Amino acid sequence: MNVKELKYVYFVGIGGIGMSALARYFNFYGKSVAGYDRTASPLTQTLIDEGISIHYTDSLTEIPVEVRNIENKHQVLVVYTPAIPKDSEELNFFFNNGFTVLKRSQVLGLIIKDKRGIAIAGTHGKTSVTTTTSHLLKQSSIDCSAFLGGISKNYQTNFLFSKDSDYVVVEADEYDRSFHQLFPEIAVVTAMDADHLDIYGTHEAVIESFYQFMKQITIGGVLILKQGLNIEPIQAILDNHAVKVFRYSMNNQESDFCAVNIRKTEGKSLFDIKTPTGIIPNVSFNLPGPVNIENSVAAAAVAYSCDMEPKQITDGLASFFGVKRRFDYHVKTDEVAYIDDYAHHPEEIKACLTAIRDFYPNKKITAIFQPHLFSRTQDFAVEFGQSLSLCDELLLLDIYPAREKPIEGVTSKIIFENVTCKEKSLITKGEILETLSHKNIEILLTIGAGDIDTYCNSIAELVTKRINTNTF
């Protein structure tokens, strides 16, 4: 792929968080960028505001005529996401007419091929660690470019650019084995839990895929691994590649990096970070709870591996404001809080609810959960029930299908049957606001990777109105 030769870049599925970051990259370089997505969203509107042409009907007539009828097809790059159906009219047109068509992961791999790649992988936690790491580097003398899996609150974007730094931070997605396109200098692995079993089939296959990713760390590189993850089957390969392996954890002092002297304060986490060469003292992090502390330690381990000064690490963590839809406060008072989170796997939900319970030990937690994918619901119905039982009250929505067609017998009810909290209800999205208008809310949480976030503003307005009118 010769970026200089490209004139047009067309995205099939432009509204995804990873695809939109690539769209911003090519738009930044002055290419003519356009694309299709199934539905409009705040993110697609932001891209339109940035000068990118987007439509929402899968039709050849919607493809810009200058792209569709171009004679020199080497001037066009078509990027697609595996979430696009195989019968897509637009995608098949490009495949059948001699265009260069690449998956998002292939393009990302080509972009960072000659850079100092930092790839953050894991079945959960990777977006938070990626965004925190990127901020640490960006605000320091090291700097970086970054392709993020979420919208950074510090920069209000999922793409960061640097003219001077060779470091590129990317989120390494395990879905469809996308991260096998990456050959990073530094890699982080946060978790290797069973997920995407519609792709992998078994948990063992998921783990083997992560091992393949780790094998692709460049010679003399660094692997930063969550404490407890087993790499014994590929240890000899890593040793042969002279890959330095660091372990990190929240507070396990056997780890190379961990938090020590953890203190609680209003709205923040205070702690010191143990490193292989000493203590980084007096770290202040704006996000509370064990999982957020652990993610910050992972990001600090990357910064340490890039030879960042300790003061720059503490300054960066103190000035990090988080990621949209990751422990994202929409309302916060002494009595009532409303938090939104992207959690869509049982372990992520467990981590989120544990963090909330840790920070608000005496408050009632009401959770609204929208399951994501029929296959994931089928695979983890029991585990979802166990994790969601950590809340005091559950409002359970219908499954968001995303790329999937329904599976017979698979509905939200199979999760509902496994939830043990005393107060639980099955509701539709259209019933959310009416239901909440009669609830006694202390801590409200919306969770899920579907379209539940489109209700956040309306929910926040309702909660704020009830606070102001003292109707709780």
Element (H, E) at 388: helix 374-388
Residue 339 in tokens: 């938090």
Both 301 and 334 in one domain: the answer is no
Say if 130 falls within a structural domain.
yes
Mean predicted confidence (pLDDT) in 114-123:
95
pLDDT bucket at 421, cuts 50 / 70 / 90: very high
pLDDT bucket at 266, cuts 50 / 70 / 90: low
Please answer whether residues 8 and 77 qualify as being in contact, where contact means their C-beta atoms are separated by less than 8 angstroms: yes
Nearest to 226 by CA among 180, 295, 175: 295
DSSP 423: E
| Residue that terminates a domain, selected from 264, 294, 318 | 318
Cα three-residue angle 421-427-429, rounded to 5 degrees? 130
Say if 217 falls within a structural domain.
yes
Both 182 and 281 in one domain: the answer is yes
Both 55 and 24 in one domain: the answer is yes
pLDDT bucket at 268, cuts 50 / 70 / 90: confident
- Measured torsion, CA atoms of residues 380, 227, 171, 403, in degrees rounded to the nearest 10: -10
Q: CB atoms < 10 A from the CB of 17, how many?
A: 19
| Residue that terminates a domain, selected from 318, 346, 379 | 318
Look at residue 41 in the predicted model and tell me its pLDDT: 87
- Tens digit of pLDDT for each residue in 216-250? 999 999 999 999 999 999 999 999 999 999 999 99
Please answer whether residues 419 and 382 qualify as being in contact, where contact means their C-beta atoms are separated by less than 8 angstroms: no
Total-model pTM: 0.85
| DSSP character string of 199-263 | HHSSHHHHHHHHHHHHHTSPTT-EEEEETT---GGGHHHHHHTT-EEEEE-SS-TTSSBEEEEEE
What CATH number is given to the structural domain containing 456?
3.90.190.20
Total structural domains within the chain:
3
Residue with more model confidence, 60 or 196: 60
pLDDT bucket at 288, cuts 50 / 70 / 90: confident
Residue with more model confidence, 469 or 248: 248
Mean predicted confidence (pLDDT) in 191-203:
88
| Residue that terminates a domain, selected from 261, 292, 318 | 318
pLDDT bucket at 1, cuts 50 / 70 / 90: low
Radius of gyration of the chain (CA): 22
Three-state SS for 446?
Answer: strand
pLDDT bucket at 265, cuts 50 / 70 / 90: confident
| % of the chain residues with pLDDT over 70 | 99
pLDDT bucket at 117, cuts 50 / 70 / 90: very high
Pairing mode of beta strands 8-12, 278-285: unpaired
Over the chain, what is the mean pLDDT? 94
Both 243 and 342 in one domain: the answer is no
Say if 110 falls within a structural domain.
no
Residues linked to residue 12 through DSSP beta bridges, in sequence order: 36, 80
- Tens digit of pLDDT for each residue in 318-337? 999 999 988 899 999 989 99
Residue 20 lies in domain: 3-103
Say if 323 falls within a structural domain.
no
